[in-house]
């Protein structure tokens, strides 16, 4: 840490982020690698296909979406405080923090649901999102196997409703933990629902997402099973919008028929380039 203190502020922030991501990677690996060894519905080796590239995406996903979101979210917050009467946000600021967190979870989940669904339904957005679905073996690390612009878009869709409704940073001039906590819970739960574990929640599976629920989102078995289970945390949102699908078994096949380049560099730049 003494070496970090001698760096410029920008390099200090970067170094601190690298250390934070490395620490989280160790914690996540310590949780999910044993879990996937002891409770796997589909046993597979630790060193699976695409592991190296998924580690690269873990770090890219830890840096780039946060950087890309800073200016757009600050702009949204500034604009809505100019457009919507200040009294609305003054009253929102008086709400208990626990209520704003709980409501933020629900509102953010609905926004993320639609951002995720649009990423399947709009061909331009699918260019970026298909990378996430290219994984033919789904486990905890696949959570961050995503194009940075794809991750930016879905997070943006989840955060904007929270700011508009005053659930996040209602006064617009102070640090607010609500969007941070909602994003953190969503990210951590994302690792769980991608995990290759056989844990089920029984009757609660309509309320809280499980790996079984989300693995059906990654299936490539048949046309009638595609484009289901967009919610990351609250499956009842899929029930609400008619996309819930959870049979008694797990999928037999994962992946996508959309061609995705093999290398990380090509995977990042190919969706951005003009398509014929």
Q: Where are the domains of the chain?
A: 2-269
The closest of 179, 217, 207 to 70, measured between CA atoms, is 179
Two structure tokens written together for 105 = 């979870």
pLDDT (tens, 9 = 90+) of the chain, 276 residues, equals 555 555 566 677 778 888 999 999 999 999 999 999 999 987 777 777 788 999 999 999 998 888 899 899 889 888 888 888 878 888 888 899 899 999 999 999 999 999 999 999 999 999 999 999 999 999 999 999 999 999 999 999 999 999 999 888 776 656 678 888 999 999 999 999 999 999 989 889 889 999 999 999 999 988 889 999 999 999 999 999 999 999 988 898 999 999 999 899 999 999 998 766
The model's pTM = 0.90
| Distances in whole angstroms, Cα of residue 157 to Cα of each of 81, 115, 133, 150, 164 | 18, 5, 20, 11, 11
What's the CA gap between 146 and 62, in Å, rounded?
11
| Backbone phi and psi for residue 219, each to the nearest 5 degrees, phi listed first | -70, 155
Check: CB of residue 125 under 8 Å from CB of residue 150: yes
Two structure tokens written together for 12 = 């200090």
CB atoms within 10 A of CB 199: 12
Q: Token match 């797990």: residue?
A: 250
């Amino acid at each position: 840490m003494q070496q970090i203190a001698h760096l410029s502020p920008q390099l200090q922030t970067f170094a601190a982020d690298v250390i934070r991501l490395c620490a989280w990677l160790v914690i996540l690996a310590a949780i999910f690698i044993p879990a996937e060894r002891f409770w796997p519905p589909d046993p597979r080796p630790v060193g699976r296909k695409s592991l190296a590239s998924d580690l690269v995406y873990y770090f890219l996903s830890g840096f780039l979406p946060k950087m890309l979101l800073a200016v757009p979210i600050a702009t949204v917050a500034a604009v809505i405080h100019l457009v919507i009467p200040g009294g609305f946000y003054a009253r929102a600021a008086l709400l208990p923090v626990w209520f704003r967190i709980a409501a933020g979870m629900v509102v953010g989940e609905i926004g993320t649901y639609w951002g995720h669904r649009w990423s399947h339904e709009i061909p331009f957005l699918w260019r970026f999102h298909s990378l996430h679905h290219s994984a033919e073996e789904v486990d905890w690390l696949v959570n961050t196997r995503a194009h940075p612009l794809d991750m930016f878009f879905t997070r943006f869709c989840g955060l904007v409703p929270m700011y508009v409704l005053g659930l996040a940073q209602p006064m617009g001039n102070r640090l607010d933990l609500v969007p941070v906590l909602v994003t953190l819970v969503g990210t951590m739960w994302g690792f769980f629902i991608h995990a290759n574990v056989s844990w089920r929640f029984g009757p609660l599976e309509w309320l809280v997402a499980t790996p079984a629920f989300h693995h059906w989102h990654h299936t490539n078995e048949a046309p009638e099973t595609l484009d289901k289970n967009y919610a990351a945390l609250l499956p009842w949102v899929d029930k609400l919008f008619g996309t819930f699908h959870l049979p008694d078994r797990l999928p037999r096949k994962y992946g996508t028929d959309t061609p995705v380049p093999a290398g990380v560099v090509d995977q990042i730049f190919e969706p951005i380039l003009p398509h014929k």
